Each structure stands twice: as structure tokens, then as C-alpha cells.
Structure 1
Amino acid sequence: MRKLLHAMTVATLLSTASAARAETPAAPAAPAAPKSDGLTFSIGDASIKFYGFARLDMHFDDSHPNNTHLIYCIPSEDPNAPAGIGEDKNSHNFTMHAKLTRLGLDVSSPPIGKLGDATIMGRIEIDFLAEENVRTTRPLPRLRLAYAKLAWDDLSILVGQEWDVFAPLVPEVSGEFVLWGAGNVGDRRPMLRVDYTPKLGGDQLFLQGAVGLSGGIDNQNLDGTTSPYVDGESSGLPCFEGRIGYKGGHVWLEKKFWQAGVWGYYAQERLEDPLPAGYTEDRYTANVVGLDATLPILDMLDVRGEAWVGKNVNDIRGGILQGVSTVDGGQEIKSRGYWAEVVVRSCDWHALHVGASRDNPDDRDLAATSGTTIPTGAKDNRVLYICNRFNLGGGVKVGLDYLNWITQWRGDLDPGRDNRYSMFFMYAF
């Protein structure tokens, strides 16, 4: 195992080539079904396309994370740490799974005359990362996306489950939990979404907004002993999301574009009477503002990332998944974070991603450190990472990653430190 880890580390640190997306093989001719094109076929006027990939992930940690699959913090290695957030120092583990295997279906139909010749399409997408308490070899399907979308020239309306409007970028590393709780925010939820994206010469403006399900990610129910209702739903309001973005031609690189955006999120949560112990208020707010940017530096070098600041952001995967504490009878936890990565592509079969991320809640808002389903008292999460992506053609892709992860805890406890080595194999179709 040590030789394997040494080889993985050397390959990760010394790779200097770069990459492109996995190639899609050309579909063979199908004389018996002339309307078929690989995994795309027609039924009446509708076009149907199946897509997805089969994937195997492997991880080695030299210290236990909170979860070997859905990692977002590292338990303290302090012998005095409370039960539930303490681990023996350098307690390593190895795991592997196929839960990120993905299946998707796209359906599109001809323009609808009664709706101004709007085009319509639908998408359903699943993977197998649901119910983490079931056996790794018996995973349950998880709904990722399920929506219908009407589109005109510059305008589209979407109904269903889709990614949040804000924080549109996703870091390359940690495929299961994509650095949620460690600097990355934004997830998928049911929503009604509108996008207006007019062209401005060779540039493009993005005006995007949505109303979605509040509490749809964390399912927070602080008054669970007295009420069966999720706090976001009990507020009687949806969450509100918006983004203004711009895509412009690059100043010194031909056929390259830079992109940037500013965005925000707002939601409310309400507790039912009688209030649970430790809380004196029945209504709390959640909000965040942030920015995203993608900037090509050279033909083979990009910089991309996001930064944000907000409070009570656990329903959008911020604050190290901590939202409202019992401090002062109920306190929205303020937090700030970012992630950023440099992407190097010097050839068409390899990419190198070097990045950093951080989620930093305000220590004064945190409750005492304790081990629960979602541990409390985590006050800082920092990750440094290096990723290699090898696109070998024919839909075959291999990933080789290294992450250095440190979680700080309240109470002057020793931090949790983990060196994670990851590898995946994927065949996309």
C-alpha cells in the first residue's frame, strides 16, 4: 500500500500535461433502424437520448473523515474530544464504491406554435449515492435532475429539480460531495427558474432568477420533538435566488472568453410553538452573496473559482453544514468561504487541477462542540488539492487526486488532519 501511495503521490505532483473532455465515440450505422443514432432515437416527433457513465471510485485516508464517501470534515485527533467528533490519530481507512455511476435521459420535441414556437425539452438524471446507511454493494437510486424547459431565443423557463442559480461552478475534486461544507456552496432543489441570456455583439449577458424549496437540502427541523415539519417549509415561503453574469471576449487570447457573475440567495425558517430548548426566537433568515469567475490566462491555462459570505447557509451546503446555534437563544451562524483552482491543459488527453478551498464560520456564533448526526463546533475547514484527469478516448477517463484536509474545532481541541488519495475509472456513453 505504501508503494502504491508513493506512486500515486509522485504521479499527482509531477504531472505537467493537460487535458480535454472525454471523447464520445462516433455512433455506428444502424441500417435496420434508420432513425437511430447510437443512444439517440426518435419516437414520433420526439427525440430521445440516453447518456451516462459507469464509474468506480477508490479512496485511502490516513485519518478517518466524518464519512468515507460523503466527506466534509475531519474529526479531531485530540484525546479529550467529545464522543462523535474524536478519532484516534492517524486511523487510516480504504474504501471503494460505484455509487457515482450515472444514468440520464433527454427528451426534446418540435416547437410549440401556441407558445410562440417555444422549444421544449425534459431531463431526468439519477445516480446511486442515496441513503448512505445502506450497504455499499446495495445502493439506492438518487434523483439528481428532473425538469422540463421551455426556451425561446433569449429566454427560458424551467420547472422541476435543477442546480441552484447561484454558485454555478463546481470544483473538480471530491466527486461525491464536491467540497460542500469546505468552501463550495449550491446544490440541486425543486424550483421555478427563468433565464434571460441576450447576445451583446460577441458577448452575452445572463439574468437568472428562481424560487425554490427552502429546507430542501438540509431538511432541518430544530423543533423535531414538537413538530414534524421542516423549518424551511414552515416559513410559508420559498427561497429566492438570483444571478447577474457576463461572458466577454478575451483581451489577449483569440477565440477565448472570460466569464463572471454576482449572485445571491435568501430564505426564511420558522420554528413551531412550543419552542425547543435553547431557542427563544421562532423565525430565522438565511442569506448569501457571492461571485464566480472563469479567466483564461493562456491557451492552456485557466483560473476559476467562487467566493461568498452569508449566514445560516447550511441549506446551501455552507457553514460546515451548521445553520442556527443555541448561542443567545438562537443565532444564525455567519460564515464565509471560497474555492479556487488553476487548470493546466497542454495536450488533449490530460488536465492538471491545483486548488484550495475554505469554509470559515464565525467562532462567536457556534454552539459547543459535540458529536451528532451533523457535528457542531467545527470552526474552520481548509483543503488543498491536486487532481489529474486522463482522457484516454472512447469515453474512458481516469482520475488521480490528492487532498490535504484540515478541520479546526472549538474548545482548543487538536485539529483533524487527513491526507486523502483518490482514484477513479469511468466509461462514459
Structure 2
Amino acid sequence: MNARGKFRYTLLLAGSLCTAAPSFAAESTESVDVRITRLEKELAELKALLQTRPAAAGTAETPSAPVKKADPPAPATVSTSSGVNLQLYGFARLDGSFDSGQIYPGNIALWAWPQYGSSNDREWNLTAGATRIGMNLSGPDTESIKLTGNIEFDFLTGLSSENNQAPRLRHGYMKAYWPASDFSILAGQSWDLVSSLIPFVDDPALMWSAGNIGSRHPQLRLTKGVATGEKSRMELAVAASRTIGDKNTTPGVIATDTGKDATMPTIQGRIALSLPLLVESQPATIALSGHYGEEEWDANNSGSHKTVDSWSCNLELSMPLSKKMTLAGEYFTGSNLDDYWGGISQGVNTSTLKEIRSCGGWAALRYTSSPSTSFSIGAGVDNPNDNDLALGARSRNQSIFANVINKITPNLILGLQLSDWKTEYKGVAEGDAIRAQSSLTYKF
């Protein structure tokens, strides 16, 4: 028995003896040993009673009582003076890679540099630029309108040194949604409507310039959902987005953004159908999307110019094959797609002011072996039309990849990926490289 227990025992024994003094004299036949035994029994019963009672407010629970493991806390939400709820999220991430040949730009993978004999150097990269921070906004809602928004930054700008990277705006938009009519308005910068799927890669470049097109643009978007059956839904969306063109490099012309010079915004559209096919609880989605925009290339400073088109037509498919396996892919065709990471990031042949046509796509298979681990394999290709290219331009780019993503804990994620890159050039040597990369992410 510890000191605290002895003290409680002594007080209880003294109190019991005092209150029992009158009867103690009368009951002299009961020995002291018997009485001590009885009091010890009563003390044990009192201890047992105290342990079974709930702890009083403001006091700690009995240490010996079993404690239920607490559920993970919900993300903290702060309410502003205007009534808007703000939820902070993001992650700190480190990406490391080793390349058997030079890959542009290095921290992320877009294409392989051409090989010129022994100049094909191996290289490694290490960056924290994919670190991200964001804020989800919501409310205050009305009886008919739900308000949400998002502001998100990362540091993959390439505008500063590796250890002093500048932030860039990924998303910055508000969304008003009318549930009764399944209609919404989005205003701000967000993902394009065209080719909206994300490949199952661990590289932050998302296979851009290697079969995946679509980026983020400032836009005004209208979306309408339509129920087409008990478990199926169709979604129609249209957006007017900012056209971001090339810098006009025509001799004698003040350099301008050819997209800003255009007389119209880019128009994007998408129609998607979702319904369960092979897996009842996981709907498949097939979608058709496209865009049309213009760029104005000035021939001189007197106002003469040439208008070049930018357009695409895209097919998307996301198909759960089982509860643990998903097949996804996209196909695109179009011209002047550098602003959407198509044409291997080549839009216009500046010597002829001719649009560069291109087609391609990607396909990938993901197997989720457990809630914490997934395996993916896939490939992509971007194939510009050789007749539209200048000498030395990139004429074909392909990538094959395999990766594993493991959640060591719900907040600590390890990614490992191996990819093979092959880039062809018009009239010059091609580029080949094997890329081994890894990522370590701490989510919050």
C-alpha cells in the first residue's frame, strides 16, 4: 500500500472508531482484530464503488479504468467574421530522382534531351517544390444556394533558385451550387474541362507532354447535372477561359501575348455520363470534351496580323474492373496545344506561323491491394504531325511507368516509381532515359 493509501486508510479507520465509540464499549465481546478485519473489508468495498462511478466534472478518471481509444480528430475549421468557414490543408513533400540520361526540366519529367555521343550525362534531382498549402472555403449557405471555394499554392515555378522557390497559384475560385436544380457556377482559376482525368503517376508533371493534356486557367464555368436513371447521371459543362498564347517573336514586333491579343476567350465544353457497370458500388465514367480558341500573331506594328486556331477533341474513360482494380485513360487530337501541354509543349511553328497538329493519349491500370497500398502501371504518347514541325523540333514523346504508393501512416506517404522515356526529334538524334524517382509526403 502506498503512502496515499495508508493515509486514507488511517483517516477511515479513525473516523470509524470515533463514530462507533458508544457501541464499542457496549460490544466489548468483539475483539480488536475482528473489528480491523471488518473495517478493511468495508474499505475495499468503498474502493470498488469509487472505481465504478463516473469521474466528477473537473476531475481525472481513475487510472485503472479502461480508456477507449479516441477517434482521429476532424480537420480544424475556423469561422471568419463574415461567416465563411475556412479549413487549412496541404502537405510537405520531397521528390528525388536519378536519370540515366538528361530529362527536361529535371525536378519533373516532360521529355528526354537528344543524345549527342558522350554528352548524354546521368543526373539526379532533389526538390521540395511540390510542397503544397491550401484553404477550403464554405458557407454561409442559404436555403437554395451552397457556397464553396478553394485557394491553393505550391512552389513548382522554376522562377527562382532551388532553395528559395517562389509560390505559384494553382487554384483560386468560388463556386455557387443550387442543389434543387443540380446547377453550379464556378468563377476563378481551376482545372480545365478538357481531358479532366489524372494519370496514376507519382511525378507532379502528370505525364504532360507525354499523352496527357489539360491544365489550369482562369475561367467562368457553368455546370448542369441531369439524372438519367436510378444510379446514372449525366453532367454538362461549358466554360469561357483565358487564352494564354506564345510571345510574338516576329522581327520588328513588340513582344506580346498572342492569346491576350485575341478577340475572344477560349470556349471549353464537356459532357460526361457516370453509371455502375462492372462494380455496383463504383460507377464508371465516360466523357467527351473539347475546346476552341484563337491566338493573334502580329506581322508588324501597323496592325497586320494572322489568327491561328487552338482546338482539341478528347475522350475520357474511368472504369472500375473490380473493387480493387481501376482502368483509366484518355485520347486527344487537336492543334496548337502547347498551352494545354499537348504537342510535346509545341503550339505554333514560328517560321511559318502554322499550327502544330498532334494526337496521343495515355492508359493506366491501378490495383489497390489494401487501403494503404496501391500499384500502378501505364504508358502515354504524344505524336505531333512531322509536316508541321521545324528542323530539330520534338516529333514524338512516349513514357512507360510503374509505381507503388504506400501510406506508412495516414499522414506519411512513400512513393516509388520507375519510368522509361523516349523522345524523337525531327532530323536530329533521339533521347532515351530511365528515371528512378521517389517521394515522401507528410499530409496535414
Q: How does 1:117-136 map to 2 (within 5 A)?
A: 117-130=144-157, 132-136=158-162
Does structure 1 residue 78 correspond to structure 2 residue 104? Answer: no
Tell me the TM-score normalized by structure 2.
0.80
The residue number in structure 2 matching 1:305 is: 329
**1:232 is paired with a residue of what secondary structure?**
coil
Aligned equivalent of 2:87, options 28, 44, 49: 49
Aligned equivalent of 1:406, options 422, 426, 438: 422
Q: Relative to structure 1, is the Cα distance of residues 102 and 227 closer, same or farther in structure 2, using a 3 angstrom cutoff?
A: same
Q: Structure 1 residues 387-396 or 263-272, which shifts more? A: 387-396
CA deviation after TM superposition for structure 1 residue 174, in Å: 5.0
The residue number in structure 2 matching 1:190 is: 218
**What letter matches 2:267 in structure 1?**
F
Q: Percent identity?
A: 28
**Separation in structure 2 between the aligned mates of residue 26 and residue 227 of structure 1, nearest angstrom:** 62
**Separation in structure 2 between the aligned mates of residue 349 and residue 425 of structure 1, nearest angstrom:** 14
**Separation in structure 1 between the aligned mates of residue 207 and residue 77 of structure 2, nearest angstrom:** 34
Q: How does 1:249-264 map to 2 (within 5 A)?
A: 249-250=276-277, 252-264=278-290
Q: List alignment gaps of at least 5 residues for structure 2.
A: 1-69
**What letter matches 1:207 in structure 2?**
L
CA deviation after TM superposition for structure 1 residue 245, in Å: 0.3
The residue number in structure 2 matching 1:88 is: 119
Instruction: Flag the structure with higher helix content.
Output: 2
Q: Relative to structure 1, is the Cα distance of residues 275 and 304 closer, same or farther in structure 2, using a 3 angstrom cutoff?
A: farther
User: Is 1:212–1:239's contact at 8 Å kept on the other side of the alignment?
Assistant: yes
Where relative contact order (Cα < 8 A, 6+ residues apart) is larger, the structure is 1
Q: How does 1:13-412 map to 2 (within 5 A)?
A: 27-28=72-73, 37-43=74-80, 45-79=83-117, 88-89=119-120, 91-112=121-142, 117-130=144-157, 132-153=158-179, 154-173=182-201, 175-200=203-228, 201-215=230-244, 219-223=246-250, 226-250=253-277, 252-274=278-300, 282-326=306-350, 329-369=352-392, 377-411=393-427
**What letter matches 2:362 in structure 1?**
W
**Separation in structure 2 between the aligned mates of residue 190 and residue 235 of structure 1, nearest angstrom:** 16
**What letter matches 1:421 in structure 2?**
A
User: Is 1:222–1:231's contact at 8 Å kept on the other side of the alignment?
Assistant: no
**Separation in structure 1 between the aligned mates of residue 247 and residue 115 of structure 2, nearest angstrom:** 28
The one-character-per-residue Cα deviations of 1:262-307 (angstroms, maximum 9, x if unpaired) are 011111011124189xxx9611001110110011112221110100
**Separation in structure 2 between the aligned mates of residue 223 and residue 27 of structure 1, nearest angstrom:** 60
CA deviation after TM superposition for structure 1 residue 161, in Å: 0.3
Q: How many pairs align?
A: 370
The residue number in structure 2 matching 1:374 is: none
Q: Relative to structure 1, is the Cα distance of residues 408 and 387 closer, same or farther in structure 2, using a 3 angstrom cutoff?
A: same
**2:344 is paired with a residue of what secondary structure?**
helix
**Separation in structure 2 between the aligned mates of residue 410 and residue 397 of structure 1, nearest angstrom:** 41
**What letter matches 1:303 in structure 2?**
L
Q: Structure 1 residues 225-234 or 351-360, which shifts more? A: 225-234
User: Is 1:378–1:409's contact at 8 Å kept on the other side of the alignment?
Assistant: yes
Q: Structure 1 residues 236-245 or 294-303, which shifts more? A: 294-303
The residue number in structure 2 matching 1:419 is: 434
**Separation in structure 2 between the aligned mates of residue 320 and residue 214 of structure 1, nearest angstrom:** 18
Q: Relative to structure 1, is the Cα distance of residues 405 and 26 closer, same or farther in structure 2, using a 3 angstrom cutoff?
A: farther
The residue number in structure 1 matching 2:48 is: none
The one-character-per-residue Cα deviations of 1:185-210 (angstroms, maximum 9, x if unpaired) are 00001000111112332111110110
Q: Relative to structure 1, is the Cα distance of residues 307 and 41 closer, same or farther in structure 2, using a 3 angstrom cutoff?
A: same
Higher gyration radius (CA):
2
The one-character-per-residue Cα deviations of 1:80-103 (angstroms, maximum 9, x if unpaired) are xxxxxxx713x1111111111110
The one-character-per-residue Cα deviations of 1:140-185 (angstroms, maximum 9, x if unpaired) are 1110000011001111101000000111111122533211111110
Q: Relative to structure 1, is the Cα distance of residues 47 and 133 closer, same or farther in structure 2, using a 3 angstrom cutoff?
A: closer
User: Is 2:289–2:313's contact at 8 Å kept on the other side of the alignment?
Assistant: yes
**Separation in structure 2 between the aligned mates of residue 144 and residue 339 of structure 1, nearest angstrom:** 23
Q: Structure 1 residues 226-235 or 309-318, which shifts more? A: 226-235
**1:179 is paired with a residue of what secondary structure?**
coil
**Separation in structure 2 between the aligned mates of residue 176 and residue 244 of structure 1, nearest angstrom:** 27
**Separation in structure 2 between the aligned mates of residue 351 and residue 65 of structure 1, nearest angstrom:** 26
CA deviation after TM superposition for structure 1 residue 254, in Å: 2.6
**What letter matches 1:77 in structure 2?**
Q
